Amino acid sequence: MVPAGYRSPYDQDWRVLGGLAVTVIYLILMALYIDSEVGWPAFVTLQVERMGSFLEGAFAPLAFLWLVIGYFLQKKELRQNTEAMKMQFVEIQRSAEQATVQAEATQRAELHQRRESYLKLAELVRTQLGYVVGLLYLSSQLADANEEKVPPERLANLWMVVGRDDPEAFSRELLRVSTVSTLQYRFKLFFGTEIRTRHTTNFEHSFERLLRSAESCDEDDMIRDALMGSAHGNLYRRIQQVREQVPEGFEIGAYNFDPDSRDGDPQTT
């Protein structure tokens, strides 16, 4: 079945029409020649080899004519096929470009979706970190031996702020306390007791997991920079500094000193 709009290379070609006209005229002339020079009765009684030789010579011009016409028609068809292939190549290029654009758009949408999911998760983790730091703050600042014990009203207000809209309130408080403290008390603040060490370690592990999770949706490290620039991030760096610069006479996991004293000498037991 011929597709709609299909046109054969032979349709409406002047070479074909001209060849047909020449062929018809030639056949008429040949018939007139046979009739006048040979006669049809004599012609049809010719021997087979003589008739074959006659027809071979008579139709040779027509065969050559249609050979030439076929050559030009084939040349035209090849040119049309070449143009069609060029157009198809252009369409393939356009399709490839569109596929590339669609793939990039899909990747951007997927990245955006991952980033949105991560930001929601990060908010939950930030709140969790706020409670962990709050417990660490309680352990150090509400101890009976602490000379600068935090008033209950101040503590209640901090918990209210953390639960409402600011999960980094306790981190800022611990940063403030550690900034104005000696290196020895700073160590006690984070590793002075088994409970403080556990809270500090939990905070470190949770914050590190939060940083690792950001890698899948943070191509330019903007999220990582924001996390490290937050109060949680600065507290994480402060804890790492204490781990790297343990005061002389102290050891993480050894509690042979008064965890709440402000002096710098560990007590030997």
Q: What is the mean pLDDT of residues 151-158?
A: 81
Instruction: State pLDDT tens for residues 98-146.
Output: 888 888 877 777 877 888 888 888 888 999 999 999 999 988 887 655 5
Domain ranges of the chain: 14-101, 111-244
Q: Which of 139, 210, 233, 258 is nearest to 241 (CA)?
A: 233
Residue 9 in this model has a pLDDT that exceeds 90: no
Residue 12's pLDDT is: 53
Q: In sequence order, what E strands does the chain have?
A: none
User: Which candidate, 206, 32, 39, 50, places its Cα nearest to that of 133?
Assistant: 206
On the question of pLDDT at 201 being above 90, the answer is yes
| CA nearest neighbour of 232 among 119, 122, 126, 124 | 126
Q: Which of 159, 166, 127 is nearest to 141 (CA)?
A: 159
pLDDT of residue 269: 43
Q: Which two tokens stand for residue 95?
A: 């399709």
The mean pLDDT value for 43-65 works out to: 80
pTM above 0.85, yes or no: no
116 φψ region: left (φ > 0), alpha (ψ -120 to 50), beta (else): alpha
Of the candidates 178, 173, 247, 238, the one whose C-alpha atom is nearest the C-alpha of residue 203 is 238
What is the C-alpha to C-alpha distance for residues 144 and 36, in angstroms, rounded to an integer?
Answer: 142
Q: Is 37's pLDDT higher than 90?
A: no
